[in-house]
Amino acid sequence: MLARDLIEKDLPALDIDDKVGTALIYMEEENLNQLVLVHEKEVLGVIEKDILFNFDEETKLSLVPIKFSNVEVKENQHLLLLAEHCINRDIEVCPVVDFENKYLGSIKTVDIYKKVIAGQFSGNGGLMSLEISEKDYSLSDISRIIETEGLRIEKLYLSQENQNDYHFIIKLNKKEIDPAINSLKRFGYKVAQINERANNSYPDLERYEQLMKYLEI
């Protein structure tokens, strides 16, 4: 999925001739703290609500400082690179331009994250959380152990909490994943199934549940 496929046609953009009051109304309607500032199809950057409160509502946006500039992405930007871009820039809205750098529309960052998460963890297969030290990490070994139990890895999410430890959330192709969990445990892996009965104190489960709640998936 590419950036142009995610553009929200009804998401407004601001112009330098718009006033602060208008920007605040749009942000309230969209439940956003930021909106893209555009002039004659050129993306100038992203305006933030907190800055607007320092100005009179009749002030034109041409007089308001732009907090985020050079944040636009090309229309053919892949979803995963798009998500990384938004995280690195810490933006709520992402402007999309064509190959001539003309503004096409904007995307809410939360919608990008939803697409990424839905793509990673959608479906009926079981989820497991796996904790492993860097020195013991081998995806091929983990996959081999799982496959010997008649299952396979469909998708996985990896985070590195520090220089020594990895945390995985792994989605398998079947709901019944106890055989794979038991095999991994026999090989010394710290692993747990993620479901309504799982240990809520388990770190990866907490992160997963918080993310799902935040994205309302």
How would you classify the pairing of strands 93-97 and 153-160?
Answer: unpaired
Each residue's pLDDT tens digit, 12-23:
999 999 999 999
**Residue 157 scores a pLDDT above 80:** no
Each residue's pLDDT tens digit, 61-87:
999 999 899 999 999 998 888 888 988
Cα separation values, 1 from 45, 126, 153, Å: 24, 25, 22
DSSP 149-189: TT--EEEEEEEESSSSEEEEEEEESSS--HHHHHHHHHTT-
In this structure, which amino acid lies at residue 148? T
The mean per-residue pLDDT over the stretch 143-170 comes to: 82
In the three-class reduction of DSSP (H, G, I as helix; E, B as strand; rest coil), residue 74 is classed as strand
Residue 192 phi/psi, 5-degree rounding, is -150, 150
Q: Are 62 and 16 in contact (CB under 8 A)?
A: yes
Q: Are 132 and 37 in contact (CB under 8 A)?
A: no
Tell me what pLDDT residue 197 has. Answer: 42
